[in-house]
Structure 1
Amino acid sequence: MDLSTILGMLICFLVVTFAITIGGPLAGFIDPTSILVVICGSIAAVATCYPMSTLKSFPKIFSNALTFTPRDTKGLLEMLQTMSNRARREGTLSLEEFVTSIDDDFFSRGVQLVVDGHEPQAVEDILYLEISKIEERHKLGIGMFDDLALLAPAFGMIGTLIGLVHMLGQLDDPTKIGPSMAVALLTTLYGSLISNIFALPIAKKLQFRSNEELQEKEMIAQGILSILNRESPRFLVERLNVQLAPSDRFVDAS
């Protein structure tokens, strides 16, 4: 569970709620019609932008922002170094036992390509093509939340305009102008809250997760190509280490 995402949204919600209750009752900021216009309208507009196959993955994409799996970069580099040493001593066929023991499908398929004896250029083309497709899928998921962040305030404004039209139709009764104006402005508030407390932060967190995964996949690809090219295991580790923060780097104790 990613506490920063959950705590961040919760604190934002509590701060806004606290600010509302200081000035008056919370019930005055709840209007079912405004909620219907903003939430249903925004979701429907986002659904219009994407195919059903992508929309079905919305819950899974959202869960990715709420979960956190630490990336073991030191373990990854240690394994690549072990594989490089083995390949230099015994040949690439000796790496076959790693294919079934590796949990990462991308890593496992890359090692299988090495074992099968494919040319380095062919292996590079396949690995980087898969990385590009992973990035495309990530962009689709992030795009849904970016679009929601864009559309929610727009539907908030639409709701406000609807409310203003109703208000102008009641100008003959001055006592109704104030309450009608307040309700009209609620949709703008709802749209802004959905955009800035929910959709935009989730999109940013998903982009961060995507960058992490793509960096890991690229390091795997570079390591596999280094093994294929029979580069020094020490050089392999050093080249990958420079891409990491000092605290995440692998130090060979041998």
Structure 2
Amino acid sequence: MDVLSIAGMAAGVVAIVGGSILKGSGLGALVNPAAFVIVMVGTFAAAMLQVRLETFRHSMKMFRWIIHTPVTDPEEAIQKIINWSQVARKEGLLGLETTAEEETDAFLQKGLQLLVDGSEPEVLRSILEVDIATREEYDTKGAKVYESLGIYAPTLGIIGAVLGLIAVMGNLADPSKLGPGIATAFTATIYGIASANLFFLPVANKLKTAVATGTTYREMLVEGLVSIAQGENPRNIETKLNGYLSKG
């Protein structure tokens, strides 16, 4: 569980709500159904118009990565690859057949099966790199949906503000309607800017980071599997793969 993401979202809510209270506006100033409909519904409508249904669905599923980041343990993977290389040196590549059948990671299972089938190192690399590129593109498109929401939200906030001001101008003779109109105008702006900068854009950036991390992890796996196919010394493989470990 990513505690920092939870803390960040909570702090964003506290910043807006707490600021409203400290400024004397109170919570009521932030509650405006008309502004919410204009900004949020309009923002999602624009994003839905931009992408395909499958991409939008995938982006919604990816949101859980903010709390539960996809598990990748490079150190454990390196140790597994070293063990596989030792087996391959002793028993040959066919000695990994049982391991391939028992592997739960679909990407690794495919790579191991290619090893067992005797695929040439460069053929193995090219096949797996296609998988990596396809997966990265698919996930990046999902992350960009949130980036789009962050771009559209402030604009819809401005539209909400303009509509609120139009309502005000149309009811100058009726003071009872001036307050709600002005409230819609300012609240819509808050919804648009706050949602973009405290939620949508940070979520997009965090998802992009997760995608990049996953891509690097799979590139490391490919390098390890290719090294096994080339019959490299396990110690040399370990030294090479340790270069992928983050030192930050």
Q: TM-score, normalised by structure 1?
A: 0.91
- After the TM superposition, which segments of 4 or more aligned residues of structure 1 sit over 4 Å from their partners? 172-179
Q: What is the letter of the counterpart of residue 13 of structure 1?
A: V
How far residue 212 of structure 1 moved from its aligned partner, in angstroms, is: 1.4
1:165-180 correspondence runs (5 A): 165-172=166-173, 177=178, 180=181
In terms of mean alpha carbon deviation, does 173-182 or 207-216 score higher?
A: 173-182
How far residue 24 of structure 1 moved from its aligned partner, in angstroms, is: 2.4
In terms of mean alpha carbon deviation, does 52-61 or 87-96 score higher?
A: 52-61
How far residue 26 of structure 1 moved from its aligned partner, in angstroms, is: 1.2
In terms of mean alpha carbon deviation, does 12-21 or 174-183 score higher?
A: 174-183
How far residue 157 of structure 1 moved from its aligned partner, in angstroms, is: 0.7
How far residue 170 of structure 1 moved from its aligned partner, in angstroms, is: 3.0
Give the equivalent residue in structure 1 for 2:230.
Answer: 229
How far residue 68 of structure 1 moved from its aligned partner, in angstroms, is: 3.2
Please state whether the residue corresponding to 1:239 is helix, strand or coil.
helix
How far residue 18 of structure 1 moved from its aligned partner, in angstroms, is: 0.8
Q: What is the letter of the counterpart of residue 225 of structure 2?
A: I
Q: What is the letter of the counterpart of residue 214 of structure 2?
A: E
| Cα distance between partner residues in 1 of 2:209 and 2:28 | 37
Instruction: Show CA shifts across 1:166-201 (max 9, x none).
Output: 222234457765653333121111011211121111
How far residue 57 of structure 1 moved from its aligned partner, in angstroms, is: 2.5
Give the equivalent residue in structure 1 for 2:4.
Answer: 4
Instruction: Show CA shifts across 1:114-158 (max 9, x none).
Output: 101112221111010100001101111111100000011111111
| Cα distance between partner residues in 1 of 2:54 and 2:39 | 24
Give the equivalent residue in structure 1 for 2:132.
Answer: 131
How far residue 71 of structure 1 moved from its aligned partner, in angstroms, is: 2.8
Q: What is the letter of the counterpart of residue 180 of structure 1?
A: G
Instruction: Show CA shifts across 1:12-60 (max 9, x none).
Output: 1012101101222211221111100001101111110111122222331
Please state whether the residue corresponding to 1:57 is helix, strand or coil.
helix
| Cα distance between partner residues in 1 of 2:246 and 2:85 | 23
Give the equivalent residue in structure 1 for 2:15.
Answer: 15
**Alignment gaps of 5+ in structure 2:** none
1:205 equivalent in alignment to 2:206: yes
| Cα distance between partner residues in 1 of 2:69 and 2:55 | 22
| Cα distance between partner residues in 2 of 1:57 and 1:172 | 50
Please state whether the residue corresponding to 1:68 is helix, strand or coil.
coil
Q: How many residues align?
A: 247
| Cα distance between partner residues in 2 of 1:173 and 1:60 | 47
| Cα distance between partner residues in 2 of 1:172 and 1:37 | 25
In terms of mean alpha carbon deviation, does 158-167 or 67-76 score higher?
A: 67-76
Q: TM-score, normalised by structure 2?
A: 0.93
| Cα distance between partner residues in 1 of 2:71 and 2:130 | 25
